[in-house]
Copies of this chain bind each other. A is one copy, B any other.
């Protein structure tokens, strides 16, 4: 399953069988006092592993640097530009296609990467149209999230180091969470943040956007398993289509 632990003699045939490569993409970013800077890397990588297992796909090594514009001034955040990310991802996609892959899944653990991943997918759509490219950021979780959530959401699209993301970590990487330090901090973000460049220090000191104390392993499991089901179905369908195209 781990692509980089294969050797060059065996891998060719197995690519032809697996057809799908999953690239976890994360970031190093402030996640409050109770979660590690690498939270998005850990989540992307472990979700990637589960998805690879369920779809008999290859898991690529994680790309651990992301676009962290909003939180770049918080301690520990490392940010790269959209353009750098787009170019690198586009290169990786082309390379995968040259290697015989038919499906390239970018499994994203960091919202800020969304723009770059979508743009990279579109560039690949032009350059190597035969390669099917996905960018996943927890697809299909809207309903289940609304159901399990106990605290209110600080923003329609953002969630960060909160009840939800902390629950994800409790499910996938409990050993990296320090619930004793978990806090509740629901900032008032305001309409403007969606209409003008707004570094998050404008509205939060903690970088926690919600009530992390309400996080539980069960909530994380419920949401992430839902999302994994959605992704598994999409990837398996794409895999079958790639097999058909070839024969």
A contact residues vs B (CB 8 Å cutoff): 2-9, 11-12, 15, 28, 30-38, 41, 60-65, 69, 72-85, 87-88, 90-92, 95-96, 98-99, 115, 118-119, 121-122, 125, 132-136, 139-140, 142, 156, 176, 178, 181, 191-192, 194-197, 207, 230, 234
Contacts and interface: CB of A to CB of B under 8 A. Distances in A.
Copies of this chain: 6
Given A6-B37, A88-B88, 4 more contacts: A7-B32, A9-B33, A63-B64, A135-B196
A204 to B, nearest CB: 12
Tell me the dominant secondary structure on chain A's binding face: mixed
Contact of A65 (B28, B88, B156, B207): B88
Nearest to A115: B115
B96 A134 contact: no
B99 A6 contact: no
A105 to B, nearest CB: 9
A128 B195 CA distance: 17
B36 A191 contact: no
A38 B59 CA distance: 12
A144 B30 CA distance: 36
Contacts of A31: 7-8
